[in-house]
A and B are shown apart, each in its own frame.
Chain A
Amino acid sequence: MATIVQAAGLTKQVLSGDSPLTILHDVSFAVEAGDSLAIVGASGSGKSTLLGLLAGLDVPTGGSVSLNGKDIFALDEDGRARLRGELAGFVFQSFQLLPALNALENVMLPLELAGLRDARQRAEESLRQVGLSARAHHLPKHLSGGEQQRVALARAFVSQPKILFADEPTGNLDAATGAQVIELMLELNRARGTTLILVTHDDKLAARCKRQLRLAAGQVVQ
């Protein structure tokens, strides 16, 4: 299988007061297409920072990331955005649905941004797959947390991404709802052959991924 995500020597430092603080130190790994990887570790271990770098949402102090063979930090901000649009889907801990848009419109958004004409049909189909057809016209604030995260899943999968980045997708949900969302996400992942990169501190969830990457104090420990 081909390598779809390749991180080499990733380092991130930020200034804390006057002295530099290292958040990630020399992280290297590769993920094959269709694989699933869980990034685990304690709070503050650098999990979310790593995910942000892998998705090109932030720039590293050193090292490189290739997605689908492209060195993303050789691209400018717009180039990375375009690549995200083509390759990646996202699920966030805090859902990040646009509050002014209803469920259907939130799912349509990535397709509309890509200029697709059949955005509505595809979004409706995607919502149906997460079981929310009936709630298509509800605004996020009228949906429960689990429902909001399912809308986020529908939005993540609607553009048929090759890679799905998920940041603590169950962090804001109770155990039972979280479990449902996880089942749904893994099932969609399997059905579409998407590569999954997941940040979590839930060991049970991590265990369901094919590989685990454990971070401590910004370094890979396992």
Chain B
Amino acid sequence: MNLLWLSLNLLRRDWRAGEWRVLLLALVLAVGSLATVGLFADRVRQALQQQAQSLIGADLRITSTRPFAPVYRQQALARGLQVVQSRTFPSMVSHGERVLLSELQAVERGYPLRGKIEIDDGTLHVARAIPSTGTVWVDERLLRRLDTQVGDEVGIGSQRFKVAARIVKDIDQSIGFASFAPRVLMNEQDLPTTGLLQEGSRLSYRLMIAGEAKQVAALKVALQEQLSGNEKLEDVRDARPEIRTALERAESFLGLAALTAAILAGAAMVLAARRFVLRHLDGCAVMRCLGAQQGQVLWLFLNQFILLGLFAVLFGSLLGYGTQALLVESIASMRDANLPQPGVLPLLQASVSGFALLLGFAFLPLLQLRKVSPLRVLRRELGAPEASGWLVYGVATGVLAGLFLWHAGSLKLGLAVLGGLLAGLVLFGWLAWLLLHGLARNGYLLHTQWRHAFNNLARHGRSAAVQVVALSLGGMALLVLTLVRGDLLQGWQSKLPPETPNRFVVNIQPDQVGAIADFFRRQALPVPEMQPMVRGRLVEIGGRAISGDDYPDPRARGLVEREFNLSYMAQMPSWNQLVSGNWWAEGSKGELSVEEGIAKTLGIKLGDLLTYDVAGSRFTAKVTSLRKVEWDSMKVNFFVITTPELLEDFPASYLSSFYLPPEKVQAGDVLSREFPNLLLIDTGAVIAQVRGIMDQIAQTVSAVFLFTLLSGLAVLYAALLATQDERSHEAAILRTLGADSGYLRRLHLSEFAVLGGLSGLFAAGGAVLLGWVLARFVLEIPATFDPLIWLVGVSGGMTIVTLSGWLATRKLIRRPPLRILAAD
């Protein structure tokens, strides 16, 4: 009979006797929670990605001021990707006496590739096609400003078009100022008939590409090499920095949640595996007496572990799949979001992790069994060999470290959490041992029952310390998740506060500044700051002439080849943040302040001399400060700001941003009428869209958090169950010696309360430190410190551990002692 067959038989018998129950429960929960969090996070990640893609209507978008070489389209098609092109240009739209500068977009069939346009043509619905020829779809602003409605005709160029629908929810808006003009969507086939396509038309071409993620990524790399200077390639991460950071942080958070699940699973496995090994010491010794060789015994167990692992992985995966589906169904906003189906990777990750946990924490300690003296059958008092314990756990930790980095999805996050865990492992273990012994020694100060509890815990010094460490690490992970979640949500809320500017106004002439300020006062609106803007091109850095060819990065090349906006001011805008150097003193001359991102892209350092060409004349000035700019603040921002004397004499226009409350929307229209040269840009829709995505991310983060918390409780319960044997034996002896069940219950509850309280205390301390490190260095958000965390940690730890401990042990107290002792 081969070993595999025997393993199977032994597994079956052990199974029947319930020997595997706790280990299996811990493992199934571990795989289950990893799979749930992983699958759920994967779906959410995909959905967020898709939703973000709807902002540009595609996975990838190339924009240009000239027609595209056909080769781009061919390459995309060759990769099996979908392609549509659109042409956008500003044009006047007329209705009766009124005319309005609008942004016309002519689209091909198939547009948009990503996201959905919602229209109202009498009924509100998602558009299934593009406007049919002879008709246009327009947005609310155009209807209001032209005083027209759906069904009317408007004039565009030399043609008249029927307004077939109102655009309710739009997509594919670019970030350029011009695009914030009212939108008109028309069929590509109608464009030639309008007579608007003439020499000098300010056409913007967009090639939109979507399809399988890998192919898109490959195409992106290939295209980057081929693009010319006036062609810009962007995916959603390039197009919208605020979404990018939110997405990245959300992904980090989801990674952290998955890690937390892994840590909890690991904690439960350590405790369950310890129990398993202790229970199987005798069996191993007996088998050795009966002639089994060390290798044979190990093989028998390895086979059993693999069989068990397969079962747990299968069952855990099913559990995970089911739970995440239930989770999605139970949250209304998730159900409505129509999440994409999850990929297989999370299941694979959970499965591999399950095996690693099992083999790392349960099988590796079994290697110690090689050292079990067969003499144990004669002398029970020979305990488990412990010499190599730390080495074995070291190896197991190494395996897990690898898994961690895998789950984290980011090296930085993985390393930070891993470092925190290892530090916690050592520190918590040492502190637990010290405290338990210290308290036991000075126990005469305490009430009898507590003294017994401490003595009892101190007697099981190692075992109790392992429990405290496992519970502390699990608790720490959960608390860190709590802290980080709070910080993230707060960060997102403060990102777009309720009064975020929702209008940009450009092209203010210098002589209009005072009149516009008066206008705002008349309308009882706060007067916004207006900043001067001068267009200029960077021509030299440190006296060396630069050209686009010096920069391989297309973004840098674009920045060098075109003019960009400069401004001058005496005070730094309050929403900017100085990163290095100093803002200039009143009256200083010849100084520049550069945004840190562009400085990095162009290789500009503090102290560099930069030469600008403005309207044909040049000036040179020194970089004396670098600034951090919140591009997503919806406020006016500049890459480069100069001291006033450098630009004051050049012709400038002013620009500003302000918040227009919903009840004063018409003030915007009045402003446009009173100052017809102004370009007033409504960013309200974009803000709403971005805020919607942020809200969704926040809800997701909360949902994942809640689930991790629940699975954490389940896993911790399994972990406590694992120490039942020792307690059961002790309870039997104590009852034999005359302890009544009330005493036992109090003793157990006190022990659990001490364990939980200590664990909670350590967990809170660890979480505060790790949370700070994560916020500061990984998520790059301001960390908040809430002293409540200590209270939550200690009282939460006490309550949860005592409660689940009581659930796990309450039956012990009722079982007749003789039965327990006989079974031992």
* Additional 5 contacts, C-beta under 8 A, given A84-B289, A100-B16, A113-B292: A58-B375, A81-B374, A98-B286, A99-B823, A113-B296
The segment out of A49-57, A61-69, A174-182 that lies at the interface is A49-57
Interface residues of B in 2-37 (CB under 8 A from A): 2, 6, 9, 13-14, 16-19
Q: Which chain A residue shows the least CB distance to B822?
A: A141
Mask for B374-397, Cβ within 8 A of A = 1, else 0? 110111100000000000000000
Query: With A78-B295, A116-B1, A141-B823 as given contacts, are A109 and B375 in contact (CB-CB < 8 Å)?
Result: no
Interface contact A115-B378, CB-CB below 8 Å? no
Interface contact B291-A84, CB-CB below 8 Å? yes
Mask for A39-51, Cβ within 8 A of B = 1, else 0? 0000000001001
Interface contact B17-A100, CB-CB below 8 Å? yes
What is B's interface to A at a CB cutoff of 8 Å?
A: 1-2, 6, 9, 13-14, 16-19, 282-283, 285-296, 373-375, 377-380, 822-823
Cα–Cα distance between A115 and B16 once the two chains are bound (Å): 23
Contacts of A96 in B (CB 8 A): 282, 285-286, 289, 377
Interface residue? A218 (CB, 8 A): no
For the complex formed, measure the closest distance between the CB of A122 and the CB atoms of chain B, giving whole angstroms: 13
Identify which of A94, A99, A105, A113 gathers the most chain B CB atoms within 10 Å of its CB: A113
Interface contact B16-A48, CB-CB below 8 Å? no
Cβ contacts A to B, 18 pairs, < 8 Å: A51-B378, A57-B377, A58-B374, A81-B294, A85-B291, A86-B291, A88-B291, A90-B290, A92-B378, A99-B823, A100-B17, A100-B18, A105-B9, A113-B6, A113-B290, A113-B296, A141-B823, A167-B378
Interface contact A85-B292, CB-CB below 8 Å? yes
Interface residue? A82 (CB, 8 A): yes
Interface contact B290-A110, CB-CB below 8 Å? yes
Contacts of B288 in A (CB 8 A): 81, 84
Interface contact B294-A78, CB-CB below 8 Å? yes
Query: With A78-B295, A81-B294 as given contacts, are A55 and B289 in contact (CB-CB < 8 Å)?
Result: yes
Interface residue? A27 (CB, 8 A): no
Contacts of A205 in B (CB 8 A): none
Contacts of A115 in B (CB 8 A): 1-2
Interface residue? A114 (CB, 8 A): yes
Cα–Cα distance between A112 and B823 once the two chains are bound (Å): 25
Interface contact B283-A98, CB-CB below 8 Å? yes
Q: Which chain B residue shows the least CB distance to A89?
A: B290
Interface residue? A72 (CB, 8 A): no
Identify which of A77, A88, A155 gathers the most chain B CB atoms within 10 Å of its CB: A77
Contacts of B295 in A (CB 8 A): 78
Q: Which chain A residue shows the least CB distance to B284?
A: A98
Residue in contact with B289 in the complex, picked from A48, A90, A117, A141, CB distance below 8 Å: A90
Interface residue? A119 (CB, 8 A): yes
Interface residue? A213 (CB, 8 A): no
Identify which of A55, A78, A100, A119 gathers the most chain B CB atoms within 10 Å of its CB: A100
Interface contact B378-A57, CB-CB below 8 Å? yes
Identify which of A81, A99, A105, A115 gathers the most chain B CB atoms within 10 Å of its CB: A81
Contacts of A116 in B (CB 8 A): 1
Contacts of B292 in A (CB 8 A): 81, 85, 113
* 3 closest cross-chain pairs (CB), A and B: A85-B291, A100-B17, A78-B293
Cα–Cα distance between A114 and B9 once the two chains are bound (Å): 15
Interface contact A58-B373, CB-CB below 8 Å? yes
Interface residue? A33 (CB, 8 A): no
Interface contact B379-A85, CB-CB below 8 Å? no
Interface contact A77-B286, CB-CB below 8 Å? no
Interface contact A101-B293, CB-CB below 8 Å? no
Interface contact A92-B377, CB-CB below 8 Å? yes
Residue in contact with A52 in the complex, picked from B13, B282, B294, B378, CB distance below 8 Å: B378
For the complex formed, measure the closest distance between the CB of B514 and the CB atoms of chain A, giving whole angstroms: 92
Query: With A96-B286, A101-B13, A115-B1 as given contacts, are A82 and B378 in contact (CB-CB < 8 Å)?
Result: no
Query: With A58-B373, A82-B293, A113-B291 as given contacts, are A48 and B2 in contact (CB-CB < 8 Å)?
Result: no
Contacts of A98 in B (CB 8 A): 282-283, 286
Interface contact A94-B380, CB-CB below 8 Å? yes
Interface residue? A139 (CB, 8 A): yes
Cα–Cα distance between A77 and B822 once the two chains are bound (Å): 32
Contacts of A155 in B (CB 8 A): 290
Interface contact B291-A77, CB-CB below 8 Å? no
For the complex formed, measure the closest distance between the CB of B55 and the CB atoms of chain A, giving whole angstroms: 60
Q: Which chain A residue shows the least CB distance to B294?
A: A78
Interface contact B373-A57, CB-CB below 8 Å? yes
Contacts of B296 in A (CB 8 A): 113
Residue in contact with A57 in the complex, picked from B19, B287, B293, B374, CB distance below 8 Å: B374
Contacts of A110 in B (CB 8 A): 290-291
Interface contact A90-B377, CB-CB below 8 Å? yes
Residue in contact with B378 in the complex, picked from A48, A86, A139, CB distance below 8 Å: A48
Identify which of B13, B285, B295 gathers the most chain A CB atoms within 10 Å of its CB: B13
Q: Which chain A residue shows the least CB distance to B289?
A: A90
Interface contact B290-A105, CB-CB below 8 Å? no
Cα–Cα distance between A83 and B379 once the two chains are bound (Å): 21
Cα–Cα distance between A99 and B725 once the two chains are bound (Å): 14
Contacts of B9 in A (CB 8 A): 105, 112
Interface residues of A in 124-138 (CB under 8 A from B): none
Query: With A48-B379, A99-B17 as given contacts, are A109 and B374 in contact (CB-CB < 8 Å)?
Result: no
Interface contact A112-B282, CB-CB below 8 Å? no
Interface contact A112-B291, CB-CB below 8 Å? no
Contacts of B19 in A (CB 8 A): 100
Q: Which chain B residue shows the least CB distance to A98?
A: B283
Q: Which chain B residue shows the least CB distance to A55?
A: B289
Contacts of B289 in A (CB 8 A): 55, 57, 84, 90, 96
Interface contact B1-A119, CB-CB below 8 Å? yes
Q: Which chain A residue shows the least CB distance to B287?
A: A113
Interface contact B13-A105, CB-CB below 8 Å? yes
